[in-house]
Amino acid sequence: MIDTERPAYDELVARLGVPLGVEDARARWGSLVRDARNGATTLITRERWEWAALVPLSAVPGLLSGLPLVPLSTARGKLGDLVRQVAHPYEQEPVLLSRHRKPVAALVAAATLADGPAPRELPTAEVMLLGGGTVVLALDAHGRITASVRDQEGAEVALGTGDSIGQALDALENG
């Protein structure tokens, strides 16, 4: 039997605020994307029962490679279809939103935020690289390898150390 009951989003609304309708989200698209790049999550609903969330890349679970990539300008015009796509009860695959072919944010099913694991506090090295950041490898004074993750503005957001490059990169992921 197919479960047609809408998931309870009360906890999400309490945590993230009242969702925007698709038209309201389109009208505020630029600022919503900017907010997502800065770590904010915005709930978006279509026809009151299809819910998605505009999230920062760090909130996307799993690997980013292989996920659909949609330019921001196209996503704005097709936002209703994209909300329906990610909210589909059997697929719920995130959609990456890009500027100049670089992922900057994502649309995910709101149900995954309520049911899934909590998003990471710091973005992974892969997310930072896809978002235009850098990973700098260096040898410190004690002969250990350091891996420093820097955002697009050059600010250090994570640091990992180890006896090898692999250990330093692993320390970033597990840090």
Q: What is the mean pLDDT of residues 4-11?
A: 64
| 99 DSSP 8-state letter | E
Query: 101-131, pLDDT tens digit by residue?
Result: 899 999 999 988 875 444 444 456 666 666 6
β-strand pairing of 134-139 with 102-109: unpaired
Query: 162-172, pLDDT tens digit by residue?
Result: 888 888 887 77
Model confidence pTM above 0.75:
no
Q: Tell me the C-alpha distance between 21 and 39, whole Å.
A: 21
Per DSSP, the residues of 108-144 read EEHHHHHHSPPPPSS--HHHHHHTT-EEEEEE-TTS-
Q: How many CB atoms lie within 10 A of CB 5?
A: 7
Q: What is the mean pLDDT of residues 21-26?
A: 95
Count Cα neighbours of 155 within 13 Å in the Cβ-side half-sphere. 2
